[in-house]
Amino acid sequence: MISRRQLWGLVALTLMWGVNWPMMKLSLREMTPLYFRALTMSCGTLWLYLFFRWRGVRMLPQGKEWRSVVALGLPNVLGWHTMAILGVKELASGRAAILGFTMPIWTVLIGVLFLGEKLTRRVAFAALAVAITVGLLVSHELTAIAGRPLGIVWMELAALSWAIGTLMMRRAKLTLPMEALTVWMMLLSSLCLWVIAAMVEPWPVWRFSGVMWATMVYAVLINYGFAQIIWFGLARHLPPATSAMSVMAVPLVGTLSATLLTGEWPHWQDYVAVVFVMAAIAAVLIPPRYFRKPA
């Protein structure tokens, strides 16, 4: 049974993750994507490190634990965050959120195709729903005057990277606390982002509007800070089905909040795509017993 405190934490987490998508879009009006990611991830890492160190978590990896940090950090943090921010640059933020959260379906499909997992009717339905989702959004991007189909490619590559990282995480034998693992994955990824940004993007002009500073504060304190802390607190105690419901709601929050924050009005394809993505995630993440009627 979920407590009232956990319920409020789940609601807060869903709102934080959902609103983060249009906040990223706002930031890209004044700063290039990779420098924005590098800066906010670096500051967020410091904030998380200090918090978890204060909580008494063992933060320093030892021996082979460094191998886990690097191997898991490449797809889960560097791959996902780099390609996702490039996708947000090209697409409406709500649309990017919808495509990014096809991750759970890719996780299941990879398991079926390469890891010998069973193909069920629920998995087949999820795959079909995702195909319809991507088809809807691709069709609109290709027919729009300023369509950006490249953004869809970036977002699906990001979702695929996150899915691969999730599968690797499930199979990893970890001795390092998850909090410390996350902090070190973020730290090493942020260092890589600084290097990549220096090679491909111009050095930022550090004169920003109040809105820009607000998006950076949000990214550091909320997206890389409070949201991560809440998630660690919930992940230990909530059943998978409850976590799935939170994941399902993030694209919807991202799409609706984008209208208020960035003035991006969703098209009918976006609304239909949200429904299909939520249905697909429900099919692969919520256990079958939750759909059965009580005897």
How would you classify residue 287: left for phi > 0, otherwise alpha for psi between -120 and 50, otherwise beta?
beta
Residue 184 in domain: yes
Count of beta carbons in the 10 Å neighbourhood of residue 184: 24
Q: What parts of the chain have a pLDDT lower than 50? A: 145
pLDDT tens-digit map of 38-72:
999 999 999 999 999 999 999 999 999 999 999 99
The reply to whether 293 falls in a domain is no
Q: 145: domain range?
A: 4-202+209-288
Number of domains observed in the structure of the chain = 1
| Coil, helix or strand at residue 118 | coil
Look at residue 238 and give its three-state secondary structure.
coil
- Amino acid letter for position 197: A
Q: How far apart are CA 88 and CA 170, in angstroms?
A: 28
Q: What is the pLDDT of residues 3-41, one digit of tens each?
A: 778 778 888 888 999 999 999 999 999 999 999 999 999
**115 found inside a domain:** yes
For 84, 140, 287, the CA distances from 183, given in Å and listed in that order, are 19, 38, 31
Q: What are the C-alpha distances in Å from 295 to residues 204, 286, 287, 289, 292?
A: 62, 19, 17, 12, 9
